[in-house]
Homo-oligomer: A and B are copies of this chain.
Amino acid sequence: MIPVAMEQVRLADQFWGRWTETVRTKLIPYQWEALNDRVEGAAPSHCIRNFRIAAGLEAGEFGGKVFQDSDVAKWLEAVAYSLLQCPDPELERTADAAIDLIVSAQQPDGYLDTYYIINGLDQRFTNLRDQHELYCAGHMIEAAVAYYRATGKRKLLDAMIRYADLLCRVFGPGEEQLHGYPGHEEIELALMKLYDITRDERYMQLAAFFINERGRQPLYFEQETHDVTRKWLNFHMRYQYNQSHLPVREQTEAVGHAVRAMYLYAGMADVARQRQDTELYTALKTIWKNLTRRRMYITGSIGSSHYGEAFTFDYDLPNDTVYGETCAAIGLVFFAKRMLMLEPLGEYGDVMERALYNGVISGMNLEGNRFFYVNPLEVVPEACEKDEEKHHVKPQRQKWFGTACCPPNLARLIGSLPDYIYGTDAKERIYVHLYIGSQVEVSLGERKIRLALQTELPWDEMTTIQVETEEPTEFEIALRLPGWCEQYTLWINAEEQAAEWRDGYLYLRRCWRTGDRVQIRLAMPVVVVQANPRVREDIGKAALMRGPIVYCLEEADNGKDLHRIRMRADVEYQIEHCPDLLQGVTRIREQGEILLPWEEDSLYAGSYTARYEAKELTWIPYYAWANRETGEMRVFARVRP
């Protein structure tokens, strides 16, 4: 499968339109202010200032984290996607100026990392394990490719080609070259993007080198000198932290820092596809299975532990001490999409959709100016304040972070949604992976096909696709039948049809002509979802889903002590679309019950029988939680047996 480039797609979706609009009008300007240290009461970014110092325009010391450069890179990438969908000369001028500044800091040999330019170039590439140079390079390459695709302007692209060329000289199998690879993966998938538009084989070779070298003995990270001993090295995790514990083809589980893991797997998938490396794909399938069947939250969030922002072990999915970093859910979308391009299996699309509608967009408030790093499935505000083990969990989104990876990552993912909706084999098939309103133009051989997709999702069931062809053409439209959908009805030109189902897709082959219309109704009842009994934290509990949306209980609707609530599986659920609630959501009501508190003031009692009273429960979409007053929240509630 090859991607349908976002240049061919125009987004027109009620649900996602609001998010992309928020990114364009709120998040991108807000982040620009943050990058310039102009958001009051927020942790300073130092990002732009670092480039000014590196370029000799200002005196001063490097500020922020070693990976600070990547923030402006991700911002630029998001700007590019926004300009593509919605031209904006003023924004483009701001971006051009930022690019001028960035490029003016570049060294004669192509090197570009403000931390080392400011602190001493002699130390560059000496600590790949901790110092994020290749990570920053990767993000800047992604920005350069995106900006070139959006505007045709090559200034940043050419600069990053010079940097990539330097990397090709420094790293590689040669005797004079470094045999290292990044502590934080990212450059791999970036080099594959650079390869995609330049078709320069060296970039693909370097990406493959980084991937294949990782985890080989003797371990590169043990041969480097490091200023600090990382705590995780003394813990069970050790080199699992950055997935260098084993050569990647021998890895079978999703381990370590969750964002690093996703970026690595995404890069591996790119290399596997371009090189038709089935061994690499086989390794990825094993990891995928472990990840999605053992280590993923119902929201598509991943990373069970604050410690190392990392995976822990099979079926260990605590709801309250979870990490579930926004960036990790975003990384899961990257990974899932690339798996889909390797093989059209519905489950890849299912996971992508699960993360997008839940654990990704929960990272931002509805206004677009507050952010979660951690996305918990259960919150008691007092615990976040008074129990240090839950201190990383915040009951309200924050203005900005010292490590501000998540907000710009959200901006670029939401901005690039058009990249995720369609696929094609470029010959006789167009895939619809996500039901997101949009128009697309796809070339099948010599012919251009246009589809216009309109949908009521995620709040209602109907999707319509209008076909436009230059002339009647036989091809297949492959519609993903979501994993959550147990019943569907399909019409072609208002006539109900059966369709071939294969691995999660419905294949509609015919000679299509302009005016043909496909309609599909994806039944969307409220579903009581239980977790595998091996998940300790969810035993005796259930969550509610409707379509792709995971729901939650909030204190604002249901009062305190949500743990005392029991939902009932045997009642009717009322669905209620509320256009004015939380910028428009469908909420769910049911007759549940609540355990009555004790009258006596004691902690333990022997002769007590649990007494419940009826209580109307109100569920809202998980992504929209914490947009009202601070309070408790939970996704999994106890269920009356």
Contacts and interface: CB of A to CB of B under 8 A. Distances in A.
Contact of A531 (B308, B530, B603, B641): B603
Given A293-B602, A387-B304, A596 B529 contact: no
A535 B545 CA distance: 27
Contact of A533 (B237, B530, B540, B596): B596
Residue among A237, A308, A563 having the largest count of chain B Cβ atoms under 10 Å = A563
A212 interface: no
A298 interface: yes
Contacts of A230: none
A598 B533 contact: yes
Residue among A237, A540, A604 having the largest count of chain B Cβ atoms under 10 Å = A604
Q: How many copies does the complex hold?
A: 2
A446 B380 CA distance: 61
B603 A535 contact: yes
Interface in A184-219: none
A389 interface: yes
Interface in A532-558: 532-536, 539-540, 543, 545
A618 to B, nearest CB: 20
Interface stretch (A3-11, A36-44, A170-178, A606-614): A606-614
Given A539-B564, A602-B293, A391 B597 contact: no
B391 A604 contact: no
B236 A486 contact: no
Contacts of A292: 603
A513 interface: no
B533 A308 contact: no
A194 B457 CA distance: 77
Nearest to A536: B563
A380 B314 CA distance: 12
A149 interface: no
A499 interface: no
Given A484-B606, A603-B293, A606-B545, A386 B533 contact: no
A601 interface: yes
Contacts of A308: 388
B564 A235 contact: no
Nearest to A240: B386
A540 B604 contact: no
Interface in A554-591: 561, 563-564
A93 B388 CA distance: 48
Contacts of A603: 292-294, 296, 298, 531-532, 535
Contacts of A66: none
Contacts of A380: 536
B293 A601 contact: yes
A532 B601 CA distance: 9
A638 B539 contact: yes
A305 interface: yes
A58 to B, nearest CB: 32
A382 B536 CA distance: 13
A165 B520 CA distance: 90
Interface string A410-426: 00000000000000000
Contact of A540 (B293, B606, B638): B638
Contact of A563 (B539, B595, B641): B539
Interface in A614-641: 638, 640-641
A307 interface: yes
Interface in A5-29: none
Nearest to A541: B540
Contacts of A257: none
A260 interface: no
Contacts of A535: 603
B236 A385 contact: yes
A369 interface: no
Nearest to A308: B388
A501 interface: no
A174 to B, nearest CB: 39
B236 A305 contact: no
A365 to B, nearest CB: 24
A382 B313 contact: yes
A313 B387 contact: yes
Given A531-B603, A532-B603, A563-B536, A235 B388 contact: yes
Nearest to A527: B606
Interface of A: 235-237, 292-294, 296, 298, 304-308, 312-313, 316, 321, 380, 382-383, 385-389, 391, 484, 486, 527-536, 539-540, 543, 545, 561, 563-564, 595-598, 601-608, 610, 638, 640-641
25 contacts: A235-B391, A236-B386, A293-B602, A304-B387, A305-B388, A306-B389, A307-B388, A312-B383, A312-B386, A316-B383, A380-B536, A389-B389, A527-B606, A527-B607, A528-B606, A532-B604, A532-B605, A533-B595, A533-B596, A533-B610, A534-B561, A534-B564, A539-B638, A540-B638, A610-B641
Given A292-B603, A313-B386, A532-B602, 10 more contacts: A235-B388, A296-B603, A486-B607, A527-B607, A531-B603, A531-B604, A539-B595, A543-B604, A640-B641, A641-B641
Return the 7 tightest CB-CB contacts between A and B, nearest first: A307-B388, A527-B606, A536-B563, A313-B386, A312-B387, A533-B595, A236-B386
